[in-house]
Amino acid sequence: METVKVSASREYDVIIGADILSDADGYIEKALGGRPRLAIITDDKVYSLHGEALESALSGFDTVKFVFKNGEASKNIRVYGEILEFLAENSITRTDAIVAFGGGVVGDIAGFAASTFLRGIRFVQIPTTLLAMVDSSVGGKTAIDLEAGKNLCGTFWQPSLVLCDWKLLSTLEDATFSDGMAEVIKYGVIRDRELFERLLMGGVREDPEAVIARCVSIKRDVVNEDERDTGVRALLNFGHTAAHGIEKLSNYEITHGRAVGAGMVIAARGAAKLGLCSPDVVEDIIKAVRLYGLTESCEFSAEGLCEISLSDKKRAGGTITLVLPEKVGSCILKKIPVEELCPFFESGLR
Ligand code: GLY
């Protein structure tokens, strides 16, 4: 078992281990300093797979639960409103807490509800996907989607505890595990060559604890330095500028991780063409994405990707910040005028 301590606007532990869900009672009591009422927020898929295990682990708490339909389509203003009404109807008070039990969608919407209900109540993240364990459950970004795009409405609101029981990953479909691996590869490229080399050896699914802990430590370091995302936190967007375009142009048929896999290759190839890194970096990233069931191929045009990216929240006025590798383990942030984005994607696509 490993514990990573985050020191952002709230201090909290990220505990990573096998079969630790059954000990959730003790971890939550310690983190919340007692036994408040808990509102469990989860989706129907996670609840049918692991709901009983969670409820049995939390049987010493007074709990209520809200279950919504699995999938990104639920991360909207209507479900968010339903969660708020549910919390109010069940008399959740300012000293109570939310437990977000699920993948990124559950963590994002439950966290957003926690940050706004009664002007903010505490919440605990119990992520059930690799992507949520290594990325979205840590660092305090909460969000819902708007018609105009993903994550356009949200807050910074840190959890009180993150409990990563990696044994829960055993029920993940291969494609969903691969989605999380895209974020894992990202951490290797932005900060840790050793982690990247470990990934190229394969076998992460069988033994993920050290890899999850390493990713969480990298995220912790970045968040501790730039919680509000005004500087270095942008490094976590490596591969995501093109990825958001790919997801949207595919009508979200292409999942986030798959899009990030291709987006990292586009960013690296563009960087190599600018002379910022060697073409070997592109080859290494292609090797890693393929090894974990992802792909570098992208069927969309530079113009299409560019149009979406420029309506994304990563744009700041007339500029957009690219995350570009210098080598595996080190990336830089490069601010470019928006007019240069389309030629950059063009050079990254082939
Ligand atoms: N997932 C990117 C961030 O937390 O900043």
Per-residue pLDDT for the chain (350 aa), expressed as one digit of tens each? Answer: 999 999 999 999 999 999 999 999 999 999 999 999 999 999 999 999 999 999 999 999 999 999 999 999 999 999 999 999 999 999 999 999 999 999 999 999 999 999 999 999 999 999 999 999 999 999 999 999 998 888 999 999 999 999 999 999 999 999 999 999 999 999 999 999 999 999 999 999 999 999 999 999 999 999 999 999 999 999 999 999 999 999 989 988 999 999 999 999 999 999 999 999 999 999 999 999 999 999 999 999 999 999 988 877 667 778 999 999 999 999 999 999 999 999 999 999 98
Place of tokens 């605990």: 124
Q: What is the rounded CA–CA span in Å between residue 54 and residue 50?
A: 6
Select from 220, 237, 314 the residue to mutate for testing ligand 1; criterion: most ligand atoms less than 8 Å from CB.
237
Structural contact between residues 147 and 223, judged by C-beta atoms closer than 8 angstroms: no
User: How deeply is 37 buried, as exposed, middle or buried, from its count of CB atoms within 10 A (0-12, 13-18, 19+)?
Assistant: middle
The whole-angstrom separation of Cα 50 and Cα 66 is 14
Question: 129, 130, 141: which to mutate for ligand 1, most atoms within 8 A of CB?
Answer: 141
- Separation of CA 171 and ligand 1 centre (Å): 25
Alpha-carbon distance of 330 to 77, in angstroms, equals 38
Shortest-distance atom of ligand 1 to CA 139: 4
Bridge partners (DSSP) listed for residue 67: 42
Alpha carbon of 155 to ligand 1 centroid (Å): 12
How many angstroms is it from 236 CA to the middle of ligand 1?
6
Tell me how far apart the alpha carbons of residues 261 and 243 are, in angstroms, rounded to a whole number.
8
* Cβ neighbour number for residue 86 with a 10 Å cutoff: 18
pLDDT at 238: 98
- Predicted TM-score of the model (pTM): 0.96
Among 51, 46, 116, CA closest to 80: 116
Q: Which residues line ligand 1 (CB under 6 A)?
A: 135, 139, 141, 229, 233, 236
Ligand 1: atom nearest CA of 233 is 5
